[in-house]
Amino acid sequence: MTDQPPAYSGPTRVLSGVQPSGALHLGNYLGALVKFARLQHEMDTFIFVADMHAITVWQDPAKLADQTREIAAAYLASGLDPAKATIFPQSAVTAHAELAWVFNCVARLGWLDRMTQFKEKSGKHKERSSVGLYTYPVLQAADILAYKATHVPVGEDQKQHLELTRDIAAKFNHDFEAPGFFPLPEPLTQGPGARVMSLRDGSAKMSKSDPSDYSRINLTDDADAISQKIRKAKTDPEPLPDNLEALAARPEADNLVGIYAALSNVTKEAALAEFAGKGFGTFKPALADLAVSVLGPVGEQMRGFLADPAEIDRILAKGAAKARETAAPTLEDVMKLVGFWRA
């Protein structure tokens, strides 16, 4: 006998999202977008644009809706098919905010105090950050659990938020005596693209907030920009090694090999087998060609989708309707479990 509560036994479902708060880069693409497109063939898939998360820091109201359309265009360009996956804006489904409030009363301050992303984003001016930035991971838990999602494809930087989601789900199930009501969702972070580092510094994450544009490849960069950024990427003078241990000691080389592997959908071992003993004079042009061949069409398709914003709006509206319908029964059950008045 164990005293483990019964596990969730509902269907599997994928859910993830990206914030519309700046240009998308290669890290977002490899850590998240390509996985969305793969998973839609395996499971019921919900992918949203996290506009409510975006406003935890200031966003120009005149631009936010267009930024949302841009993320939707990136989803479509990277292969998400609206006939297979449900694509929608977070703010169009009020269930996220409603569930987040209940979860604000389940999560403990001590849990949120441990969140490293808040510490990074609030920097030295914690007291001037929005309250939303602090409770950001609670809203993320609501995003996931409103749909009882079981699998969440994200980059490695989101692992801690997923642990918090699991803690909230377990505490809710326990406190409201509803064993197995919410699943404990699994982060899907496997593969060499889960943590893409800056092209200028192998110890820093590739990020939209890095002041140097040479630190990242943007999804909208043209072939020349992509090649130039890879040519200028920081490296060391040694040829590439033939094993992962030796590679791990060289962060910049490790990052470029990881990018090569992720872009060609092979393991880092397989990429090393191809280039062991060769210098960056050989490897960088091969990586640049590969990056241009994969990302060039994505950027082009993004521009194509953005040329027809009315079509994007139709896709988002249809997705929002399906998302509302899917989340509604869960929210109704939550209201009853919490004991709120129902007529």
> Catalytic site residues?
121, 205, 208
* Nearer of residues 31 and 319 to ligand TYM, judged by Cβ: 31
Residues lying near ligand TYM in the complex (CB under 6 A): 15-19, 27-28, 30-32, 50, 53, 140, 143-144, 152, 154-155, 157-158, 161, 194-196, 205-206
User: Which residues lie closer than 8 Å to 257 by C-beta, 6 or more apart?
Assistant: 192, 240, 247, 268, 271, 272, 275
Query: What minimum distance in Å lies between the beta carbon of 198 and ligand TYM?
Result: 8
Give me the residue whose beta carbon is nearest to ligand TYM. Answer: 31
3-class DSSP assignment, residue 85: strand
* Nearer of residues 19 and 173 to ligand TYM, judged by Cβ: 19
User: Which residues lie closer than 8 Å to 269 by C-beta, 6 or more apart?
Assistant: 244
Query: What minimum distance in Å lies between the beta carbon of 281 and ligand TYM?
Result: 26
Query: What minimum distance in Å lies between the beta carbon of 63 and ligand TYM?
Result: 16
Query: What minimum distance in Å lies between the beta carbon of 144 and ligand TYM?
Result: 5
* Nearer of residues 151 and 284 to ligand TYM, judged by Cβ: 151
Asked if 178 and 172 touch (Cβ cutoff 8 Å), the reply is yes
* Nearer of residues 262 and 306 to ligand TYM, judged by Cβ: 262
| Separation CA 195–CA 52 (nearest Å) | 24
Dig out the tokens for 320 from the structure: 């929002």
Buried b / exposed e across 264-292, counting CB within 10 Å, b at 16+?
beeebeebbeebeeeebeebbebbbebbb
- Please give the backbone phi and psi of residue 216, each rounded to the nearest 5 degrees, phi first: -140, 160
